Amino acid sequence: MIALRAVRVNKMRSILTTLGIVIGIVSVTGMATIVNGIERGFEQDMASLGTDVIYIEKWPWADNSGKWWEYINRPNITADIAKKVEERAHFVQAATAVVGTSGSVSQKNRSISSARIIGASSTFPRVHQVDLSEGYFYSDVDDQSARDVAVIGASIAEELFPFSDPLGKDIRIRGRKFRVIGVLTKKGQGANAAASADLQIRIPFNSFKRQFGVRWRNISVQAKLVRDVALEDAKDEIRGVVRLARRLDATEEDDFELNEQQSLRETIAPIKNAIYMIGIGLTALALLVGGIGVMNIMFVTVKERTREIGIRKAVGARRRTILIQFLIEAVVICMIGGLLGVGLSIPLAALIKIVLPAYLDMFTVFIAFSICVAIGTIFGLAPAWIAAKAPPIEALRYE
């Protein structure tokens, strides 16, 4: 009660002392919010790739060799590779050819200047999970006959059809009319907003080929593996099938890449760790400054109340009691700063989310308050110990 009363009496000093803690806690929660948002977005993007899907492509997803001139001279992947892999590879359940571009999409007086247009074979739902809120995905007949039909993302549907059902309606993709036959379930944006399924339009591969052409585009053949097959065994089999399809001699190197999720994770892991370490360093510095401020003001408080300490000891107060009193005072000051910091972090997280992926969870709030208690205890210990050790007679003489 004495400790709480002292904080209440010196309101202005307590508030000024907490500013350092507020800045530190806002830094901690802000950095944790950004890191958590990036982590969640990354996991969403990784989940969309599939843990059991191998991507046969011209370029590697990650390359540290600097041999880009070798990759650029490789022949492009062709759509027929998908059919050959599906037919000949025993470890492959299904394969699909995928190609993409960007373009304008419009419906009457509404338009989107840059939507992601994906051309995919009708086998796409057998390789990747496709969740539709309404309608259906195009069939093999639609693909083979190159019908102008489209499955649109949730954000595309909301933008072009805010007050009506998009099913059966026509949209124009780069000026060509396509009929909407399905709408994807809203997924939200991951780390890469441009790659979000909500902003994509999927059309049959042959429709894409007729409308936009695929000769100079990078086609991705995506193969879904059968259950419980070893990844390396499947890659070896697919490599053999693709080499045979591309008529490569035994002495020739692969002119294609087999990309998969795990290799991308291993490449990005050092970058993620570097972000975490930088974030920890910056927030630790801010908390150190706040902790020094708490220690400084507690030294002043102990000095001001030396006579009070002497009187308390003279009437029987033990060292432990004095120590706990000043520790409580330091912790309370830090907890006030923590409350203000978390209160500011909630609107801050909302602002960050406009620009970057952000996520503030209860665990982060718990960590913030735990840090407040730790700072109050660590930086308040030295002043409290000095107060506890003060000789009663010398303390009573202090003016």
* Mean pLDDT lowest among 75-79, 280-284, 309-313, 320-324: 280-284
Residue 76 lies in a domain: no
- Percent of the chain at pLDDT > 70 equals 91
Is residue 171 one of the residues assigned to a domain? yes
| Domain shared by 217 and 273, yes or no | no
Establish if 276 belongs to a structural domain.
yes
User: In this model, does residue 16 exceed pLDDT 80?
Assistant: no
Token pair belonging to 274: 């570097």
Coil/strand/helix, residue 200:
strand
Residue 211: partners with Cβ closer than 8 Å, 6 or more residues away:
173, 174, 176, 203
> Residues 333-348: pLDDT tens digits?
888 888 888 888 888 8
Residue 47 clears pLDDT 70, i.e. is over it: no
Percent of the chain with pLDDT over 90: 34
pLDDT: which is higher, 397 or 274: 274
Residue 207 placed within a domain: yes
Range of the domain at 388: 2-44+266-397
- pLDDT on residue 64: 62
* Contact assessment for residue 46 and residue 290, using Cβ atoms and an 8 Å cutoff: no
Tally of structural domains, the chain: 2
Residue 71 confidence class, pLDDT cut points 50, 70, 90: confident
Gyration radius from the chain CA atoms: 31
* pLDDT exceeds 80 at position 243: yes
Q: Are residues 190 and 279 in the same domain?
A: no
Choose the weakest-confidence range: 14-23, 82-91, 119-128.
Answer: 14-23
Q: C-alpha distances in angstroms, 103 versus 19, 94, 174, 187, 367?
A: 50, 29, 6, 21, 45
In a domain, 69, yes or no: no
User: Which helix (H) or strand (E) is 56 found in, with range?
Assistant: strand 53-57
Closest by CA position to 52, among listed 215, 223, 300: 223
Show which of 222, 254, 285 is a domain's final residue: 222
Do 314 and 397 contact (CB within 8 A), yes or no? Answer: no
Q: Which residues does 318 contact at the CB level (< 8 Å), separation at least 6?
A: none
Beta-strand pair 200-204/110-120: parallel
Q: What is the pLDDT of residues 157-191, one digit of tens each?
A: 999 999 899 999 999 999 899 999 999 998 766 54
Is 253 contained in some domain? no
pLDDT at residue number 60: 86
How many other CB atoms are found less than 10 A from the CB of residue 109? 5
Q: Does residue 155 sit in the same domain as residue 276?
A: no
Tell me which of 222, 249, 284 is where a domain ends: 222
Amino acid type, 95: A
Separation of alpha carbons 267 and 262, rounded Å? 9
| Mean of pLDDT values over 204-229 | 91
**Whether residue 372 is found in the same domain as residue 278:** yes
CA angle 379, 384, 386 (to 5 degrees): 110
Q: Are residues 279 and 346 in the same domain?
A: yes
d(CA 284, CA 24): 8
Question: How would DSSP label each residue in 86-146?
Answer: HHH-TTEEEEEEEEEEEEEEEETTEEEEEEEEEEE-TTHHHHS---EEEE----HHHHHTT
Domain shared by 270 and 393, yes or no = yes
**The predicted structure's pLDDT at residue 191:** 47
- Considering the domain boundaries, does residue 75 fall inside one? no
Query: Does residue 108 sit within a domain?
Result: yes
211 and 114 in a common domain: yes
Q: Are residues 207 and 278 in the same domain?
A: no
What is the Cα–Cα distance from 14 to 337, expressed in whole angstroms?
Answer: 9
Q: How far is CA 139 from the centre of its chain?
A: 34
Query: Which residue among 160, 195, 222 closes a domain?
Result: 222
- For the residues 257-262, what does the mean pLDDT come to? 84
Shared-domain flag, residues 10 and 102: no
